[in-house]
Structure 1
Amino acid sequence: MTHGPDSDILIAGGGLSGLPLALACAQGGLSVTVVDALDPATATDAKFDGRVSAIALASCRMLEQLGVTQHLEGQMQPINDIMVTDGRVREGASPFFLHFDHREIGNEPLGNLIENRHIRIALQKAVAAEPLIRLLAPQSVTRLDYGAQAVATLGNGETVSARLCFAADGRNSPAREAAGIKTIGWDYGQTGIVSTVEHELPHEGVAQEYFLPGGPFAILPMVGNRSSLVWTEKTEDAKAILALDDAAFADEMRARFGDYLGACAPVGPRWSYPLTLQLARDYIRPRLALIGDAAHGIHPIAGQGLNLGLRDVAAAAEVVVDAARLGLDIGALDVLERYQRWRRFDNVALSLLMDGLNRLFSNDIGPVRLARDLGLGVVSRIGPARRFFMRHAGGVVGDLPRLLRGEAV
């Protein structure tokens, strides 16, 4: 006799995409089991992940609707302006720049910068308050089988069944690999160095993207007189920089940071992340769908990686909740095909755009430098162009799922 599934939805991976998806599906009345290999206490430890994420306006509306932002009080730094410049180390910035001012498109900020650790804490609190969600962590998925149901065998020998499995288990997704879904991509030969910087003067919510020959040098405002440094260098140069003692590292940082925020110094640990592009060839199989980093991993040049994952979440939740309300099989390929059509083009297009921007700006070729500097200056002077880019960065254009409009799923 075939027994009914333990849950409507099984999510492999309880990170920054998996937990929002669980909340979204539960809001739509579906029961969810989340299995994550990482201990929740480890995921929220200050030493685990030093990154901050730029949460776009539409993504902020979604997190508000899911009941997450109520747990982020005092941890959200509004992005009021973005300054984009080009230059060389110790020579200063080009006179041409691109300035995005949030007041041009409304009263709301362009988004919010939030430490990943605090996003995870808020998500865990929201999930704990949702009776339709069962979180199993730390626990591994050792096997996934698909038939009339998706069945996960766990590391403790337990099995969990569901009508549909979502793979939200990262770039090296075991669920994707087990399903035989191939990826394409490449290594940029770059490494992102992440550190927190304390500075004398207030940042006024201004994010800086300073393009240098080795890669972008981003200064992202945090709560208080602090900024997150996302410093991209060629991998060999990054290794040498990371090997410096604290004083020498601070000197190299200041040579790029400048003095516009007064005296400044890096504080706390340094983290490093290899930069690659990775795109899944398919997002779906019967009873399986990929979201977030399991489906796509992009260059962080414009801070859009997590926002792409949250757009996946909003679209996937809407597709399966609508199908369930119609009495359809939510794990059927024809249902999941709607999700794939909705998200794949946007993800691929933005991934390749970020790839092109990184290649355009991460070099020191004279004619290319001149062309890109002039391009920044021209776009900065054309109001409609500026506003177009700001709305796209805020994620408020296109065929938006209900959650990204701030509506219930």
Structure 2
Amino acid sequence: MKRKFDIIVVGAGINGKVMSLAAAHQGFSVGLIDQKKIVEDTLQKFDGRAYAIAFSSVQMLKNLDLWDKISKTAQPVLNIKVSHGTLEGGPFSSNITFKNADIEESPMAQMVEDRYLRQCLSSEIKKNNLVEVIEQKQVRQIIDYNDKKQLILSDSSKIQASLVVASDGIASPISKIMGIRKTGWRYKQSGLVCAVQHEYCSKNTAYQHFLPEGPLAILPLQNNIASIVWTENIQNASTISKMTDDEYLGALHKRFGDFLGQLKLTGKRSSFPLSLSIAEKYVTNNFAVIGDAAHGYHPIAGQGLNAGFRDIAALVDVITSARDRGENFSSLNVLNRYQEWRRFDNQTLGFATDNFNKFFSSYNPLLSSLRNFGMKIVEGSGYGKRAFMKQAAGLNGDLPTLMR
């Protein structure tokens, strides 16, 4: 095992692997470490998980020569239909339709199954000469060592890097070791994830239906399959999770309706608690956090992975520019540029998703009237709809080089 790297990435989920490949793309040597097995040679069974990859994130994957390997299994999102209502009364009359044709950048997003994305990244990691995989080992300690960081692993081996990047999930043990605290709270909601095969074609349309207990997202995949991200209060979610498949499908059908015809469960069912989490700082000397280690959001906007990709693109931009100018790319002065670039944007997204969830997840009749009025206003505003679509496509703000 190599002992010295330019960058060590801790956590080999999707963000960790993309960070490693993006850094290697700029000529940095990378050690990618995880307590689990990192490179899986076989395609996993479909488990219902999928991601809406925004236009700017697709551009990033193209620039990293990854998209061609993923695109064959992707499903473009050409329209988004937003509605709200109640379980008893059904949808209200007001709704919003966002059409891909209304913006130049097309499509605004691509749906990609988790298993295909992970397989592609594992394959690329395996053959990249600048990325060394250090799997099934934990980081026990991080110490300063001659203007670098030294990591002591669970087998007592030691490795060094100029920069350590935490990509080890929302709990992020590495961030805790480095003294980075988080602010946030748990929602009184859980997310239910599954996939269904439906009778009628969705015509590349994603649906977001807001109910008082939480939103239901219906996201198009290939072969008349939809990924479902379904939010319920904790008690309801616990009850639904214990149902048989037939009972579960019946509960889903009450919320889903029959506009796509008959439904059939496919893949696994899962659930997870929902929370908001924002790191109080993103950097210290020779150390930075990205992705879920830096921020965790309510899935109402479906932007968690895209925000992580933007972190990666911004961090790689900052350290590459610094290195090329002859600066110490892992110094606090340089890394603060990354923090200034991303922290406010991520805080804003967290604030927006939190308040959006509170606004729509309510039985309050006044809020219901405001929702109805607001949706009618947005539906009639071409400018407002285009602004939303630009945001969904990840095209607002200062785009990092990899996303252009």
Which of the five TM-score ranges fits, normalised by the shorter chain? Answer: over 0.9
Residue aligned with 2:227, SS: strand
- Give the superposition deviation at 1:217: 0.6
Residue aligned with 2:73, SS: coil
- Give the superposition deviation at 1:203: 0.9
Counterpart position of 1:86: 84
Deviation per CA, 1:160-188, whole angstroms, max 9, x where unpaired? 10111000111111110001111100011
Does the 8 Å contact 1:43/1:117 carry over to 2? no
Q: CA RMSD for the aligned pairs?
A: 1.6
Alignment of 1:247 onto 2:246: yes
Q: 1:145 is aligned with what amino acid? A: I
Counterpart position of 2:141: 143
Deviation per CA, 1:47-70, whole angstroms, max 9, x where unpaired? 696321111000000011112222
TM-score, normalised relative to structure 1: 0.95
Uncovered stretches (5+) of structure 2, i.e. residues with no partner:
none
Distance 2:292 2:208 in 1: 23
Distance 1:381 1:12 in 2: 47
Residue aligned with 2:72, SS: coil
Does the 8 Å contact 2:39/2:122 carry over to 1? no
- Give the superposition deviation at 1:44: 7.5
Residue aligned with 1:131, SS: coil
Distance change >3 Å, CA 49–CA 312, structure 1 → 2: farther
Q: 2:138 is aligned with what amino acid? A: S
Q: 2:308 is aligned with what amino acid? A: G
Q: 2:221 is aligned with what amino acid? A: M
Alignment of 1:172 onto 2:179: no
Counterpart position of 1:225: 224
Counterpart position of 1:197: 196
TM-score, normalised relative to structure 2: 0.96
Does the 8 Å contact 2:162/2:330 carry over to 1? yes
Counterpart position of 1:31: 29
Q: Would you say how many aligned residue pairs link Structure 1 and Structure 2?
A: 402
Does the 8 Å contact 1:201/1:261 carry over to 2? yes
Deviation per CA, 1:281-326, whole angstroms, max 9, x where unpaired? 0111101000001110011101000010000000000111111112
Does the 8 Å contact 1:90/1:256 carry over to 2? no
Does the 8 Å contact 1:43/1:120 carry over to 2? no
Uncovered stretches (5+) of structure 1, i.e. residues with no partner:
none
Distance change >3 Å, CA 272–CA 44, structure 1 → 2: farther
Counterpart position of 1:157: 156
Alignment of 1:63 onto 2:61: yes
Residue aligned with 1:277, SS: strand
Q: How does 1:304-343 map to 2 (within 5 A)?
A: 304-343=303-342
Residue aligned with 2:53, SS: strand
Distance 1:343 1:372 in 2: 30
- Give the superposition deviation at 1:328: 1.3
Counterpart position of 1:188: 187
Distance 2:118 2:227 in 1: 18
- Give the superposition deviation at 1:27: 1.1
- Give the superposition deviation at 1:41: 5.8
Distance change >3 Å, CA 196–CA 41, structure 1 → 2: farther
Q: Identity, % of aligned pairs?
A: 37
Does the 8 Å contact 2:47/2:267 carry over to 1? no
Deviation per CA, 1:12-62, whole angstroms, max 9, x where unpaired? 011111111111111111111110122236797646963211110000000
Counterpart position of 1:377: 376
Residue aligned with 1:74, SS: helix
Residue aligned with 1:385, SS: helix
- Give the superposition deviation at 1:140: 1.7
Q: 1:153 is aligned with what amino acid? A: I
